[in-house]
Amino acid sequence: MIEYTYSPEIAEADRPIILESRIYKDWLEKTQEKFVVTKVHFTSVDFLRKGRQPLFIKLDATATLPDGRPVHGIVLVRGNAVGVLVVLRCEGKKYLLLVKQPRFAISEQASLEIPAGILDWTGDYRKVALSELEEEAQIKADDSELIDLMDFWYKGKSDGFAASCGLLDERIRLYAIERDVTPEQLKAMDGKDQEYTEEIEWIKTVVLPYEEAAHEFIDGKNFIALFLYERWLDFRRENASLQTRD
C-alpha cells in the first residue's frame, strides 16, 4: 500500500484526478514492476489548458530496489511522446523538413526540431505521429509511410529512448518518413507559419540540406532520429545486396 501526500497548493478536488490520470497510472505500473514504492508525495501538477487532464506531475517518492537499496525518487511525470524525421528527396539530393519554435526552458527563441508531440490518451503512437506531421509540418501521410525506427532498433524491447532519464519518465518513439518532391514543392514546404494560440505554439517549417542540418541541432531527439535512420538505411542496403547475390 502506497502512502500518498500532497503539497498544500494541490486542491482536494484535483487529487483523485492525479491518481487516475493515464500518465501517472502508466508510470506507476511500470515502476512497481522493478521497484518497491512505499510513499509518493505530489509536489505540483500542471493541467492542460482545456479540461483538468494532468500535463506534468512532479513527485517525490520513497522507493527502493527489490534488495532494499534506496533510490532517488524525484520524478517529473509527463508520459511518452513521438517524433518524426521527415526526409525529402529532390532531384537527386536529400533534405530534412524541420520546425522552429520557441523553447523557453533552454532559452531558445527558435529551437530547430523534428515534428513531435506528447502521446495522447489513446496511447496510439502511430496516430499521434501522423497527427503531428499534419499539424506541425503540414504533411498528410498514410500509416503505411511511417518507418518505425524504434521497432527497427529495439526489436520490441522498448517504446522509445529516454529523453532525460534522471528526472523525466518520458520515452520518445521515433519514426521517419521519406517523400519525393519537385523543386516547387520543396520551396513551398519551407517557411510555413503555424500558430496555435490555445496551446501557445508558434511554429515555422524549415527545409535544410540533409548533410548540413545536423550542424544546426541542439535537440537530442534530432540526433537520435538521424542516427537511427542512417542505421536503417545501412540495414536496407545490406539486405538488398544479399538478395542481389542470391
Tell me the C-alpha distance between 184 and 207, whole Å: 13
How far, in Å, are 111, 142, 185, 222 from residue 103 at the CA level?
Answer: 6, 29, 28, 15
Q: How confident is the model at residue 120 (pLDDT cuts 50, 70, 90)?
A: confident
Average pLDDT, the chain: 94
Tell me the C-alpha distance between 85 and 103, whole Å: 19
What average pLDDT score do residues 3-7 get? Answer: 98
> What pLDDT does residue 195 have?
80
> What pLDDT does residue 199 have?
67
- Give the rounded distance of the alpha carbon of 198 from its chain centre: 20
> What pLDDT does residue 156 have?
87
Tell me the C-alpha distance between 129 and 99, whole Å: 15
> What pLDDT does residue 4 have?
98
Rounded to two decimals, what is the model's pTM? 0.92
Tell me the C-alpha distance between 131 and 209, whole Å: 25
What average pLDDT score do residues 20-29 get? Answer: 96
Tell me the C-alpha distance between 178 and 95, whole Å: 10
Q: How confident is the model at residue 241 (pLDDT cuts 50, 70, 90)?
A: confident
Burial class of residue 64 (count of CB atoms within 10 Å of its CB; 0-12, 13-18, 19+): middle
pLDDT digit string (tens) for 135-162? 999 999 999 999 999 999 999 899 999 9
